[in-house]
């Protein structure tokens, strides 16, 4: 039997390999500290859970969800006004998606034809590459490096590459590198997109998890952003609903309409009880979101301080659930290092190269355990002499 050549675009899934190794260690009775996958360990807000449960009791809500509820679309519009200060978002500028994972798959195919050039950050959340490759696009990486605080540096992108590009993926705060956008960076990206006729696809999954400064914001709050792009708004990490896939594509209405048209061919839309849960999150209290941001910051401090104390370079970590750390002693074999780290200390992290070529030489820690557990994991690394 012959399978599609699309499968050749993707290597083995790194988390599956790490999980298999984890099971081996646990079978040996070893203590394991899994800081690899970014699944929050906090509970979702009770009012969101209660709303979903109550909605699921209604038999009518188990039918095909062929559209987004008007109340849901308006809740997103109102959220942008109250949370980000973005007025002017209207229901035709919003559609639900099952997470950025699904959304990227559709928006990339709606914007790019096979052979088109697209700009993707390196390192990046792997779906930015995968969604583009499934659209048949050619990847042109723009690096996120320590020299530029792991932020997009559009001045370094050659004009011929920019002129050929159909879209540019931007994600701030950035997974895996932990950088947080500045007004100057957003303004430069918008000006760059205008000059080169590029669509900006901005992933805004971590605006509620920003450390050491002002609260995170939205790309769409900057002048000109709505002329050049769209943004993914995700409730997954802010409200701890990663399995529920409560996300939205928001922005330029023609891009949203094209993505909705494509998606409608293969998907009936968001389950109505999930829509009601999203409405509850968007319109409900936000105190819990702020409380857990502070707890994530405590975890960041424990990890960054601990790694620095045992001789690692202090990691870059200004936002997101993740800490991006340079491997000690200049090692550039991140997968081998991760396996060695796991075997010697029981600590599981993600190799930097799984996020793109520029990720080699780094590893990503996820802040998904309490402070005391993180301190134990760092102590285990130190005791192992790593």
Q: Is residue 59 part of a domain?
A: no
Report CA-CA distances (Å) from 153 to 85, 122, 245, 280, 354: 26, 12, 31, 38, 22
- pLDDT tens string for the chain (386 positions)? 989 888 888 876 677 777 788 888 888 888 999 998 888 999 999 999 999 999 999 999 999 998 999 999 999 999 999 999 999 999 999 999 999 989 999 999 999 999 999 999 999 999 999 999 999 999 999 999 999 999 999 999 999 999 999 999 999 999 999 999 999 999 999 999 999 999 999 999 999 999 987 789 999 999 999 999 999 999 999 999 999 999 999 999 999 999 999 999 988 899 999 999 999 999 999 999 999 999 999 999 999 999 999 999 999 899 999 999 999 999 899 999 999 999 999 999 999 999 999 999 999 999 999 999 999 999 999 999 98
119: tokens are: 């700009």
> Of 254, 283, 312, which closes a domain?
283
> Of 235, 265, 283, which closes a domain?
283
| Same domain as 271, residue 134 | yes
Answer whether 0.85 is exceeded by the pTM.
yes
Residues spanned by the domain of 127: 64-283
| Same domain as 13, residue 101 | no
CATH number at residue 375: 3.90.1150.10
Gyration radius of the chain's alpha carbons: 21
Q: Is residue 362 part of a domain?
A: yes
Helical ranges in 87-219 per DSSP H: 99-111, 126-134, 159-164, 183-196
Report CA-CA distances (Å) from 386 to 76, 315, 361, 376: 46, 15, 15, 14
Query: Exposed (0-12), middle (13-18) or buried (19+): which is 66, by Cβ within 10 Å?
Result: exposed
The answer to whether the CB of 230 falls within 8 A of the CB of 251 is: yes
The answer to whether the CB of 46 falls within 8 A of the CB of 360 is: no
> Of 283, 304, 326, which closes a domain?
283
| Same domain as 219, residue 245 | yes
d(CA 278, CA 301): 31
d(CA 376, CA 266): 46
| Same domain as 269, residue 167 | yes
d(CA 113, CA 108): 9
CATH number at residue 275: 3.40.640.10
Q: Domain total for the chain?
A: 2
| Same domain as 148, residue 272 | yes
d(CA 235, CA 247): 6
| Same domain as 176, residue 277 | yes
């Amino acid at each position: 039997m012959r399978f599609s050549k699309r499968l050749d675009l993707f290597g083995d899934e790194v988390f599956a390999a790490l999980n298999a190794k984890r099971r081996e260690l646990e079978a040996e009775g070893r203590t394991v500290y899994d800081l690899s996958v970014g699944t929050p360990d906090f509970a979702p807000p009770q009012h969101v859970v209660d709303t979903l449960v109550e909605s699921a009791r209604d038999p009518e809500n188990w039918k095909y969800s062929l559209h987004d509820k008007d109340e849901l679309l308006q809740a997103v519009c109102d959220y942008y006004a109250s949370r980000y200060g973005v007025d002017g978002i209207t229901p035709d500028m919003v559609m639900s998606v099952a997470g950025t994972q699904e959304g990227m798959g559709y928006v990339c195919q709606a914007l790019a034809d096979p052979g088109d050039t697209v700009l993707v950050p390196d390192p990046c959340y792997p779906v930015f590459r995968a969604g583009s490759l499934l659209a048949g696009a050619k990847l042109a990486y723009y690096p996120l490096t320590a020299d530029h605080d792991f932020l997009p540096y559009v001045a370094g992108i050659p004009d011929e590459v920019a002129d050929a590009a159909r879209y540019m993926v931007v994600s701030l705060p950035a997974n895996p590198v932990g950088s947080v956008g500045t007004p100057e960076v957003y303004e430069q990206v918008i000006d760059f997109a205008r000059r080169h006729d590029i669509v900006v696809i901005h992933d805004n999954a971590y605006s509620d998890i920003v450390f050491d400064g002002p609260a995170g914001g939205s790309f769409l709050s900057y002048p000109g952003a709505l002329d050049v792009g769209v943004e993914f708004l995700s409730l997954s990490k802010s409200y701890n609903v990663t399995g529920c896939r409560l996300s939205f594509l928001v922005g330029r209405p023609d891009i949203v309409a094209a993505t909705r048209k494509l998606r409608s061919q293969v998907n009936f839309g968001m389950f109505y009880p999930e829509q009601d849960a999203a409405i509850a999150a968007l319109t409900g209290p936000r105190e819990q979101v702020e409380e857990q941001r502070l707890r994530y910051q405590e975890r960041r401090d424990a990890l960054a301080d601990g790694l620095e104390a045992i001789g690692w370079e202090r990691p870059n970590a200004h936002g997101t659930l993740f800490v991006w750390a340079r491997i000690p002693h200049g090692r550039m074999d991140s997968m081998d290092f991760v396996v060695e780290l796991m075997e010697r200390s029981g600590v599981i992290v993600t190799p930097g190269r799984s996020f793109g070529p520029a990720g080699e030489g780094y590893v990503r820690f996820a802040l998904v355990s309490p402070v005391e557990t993180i301190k134990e994991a760092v102590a285990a690394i130190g005791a192992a002499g790593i």
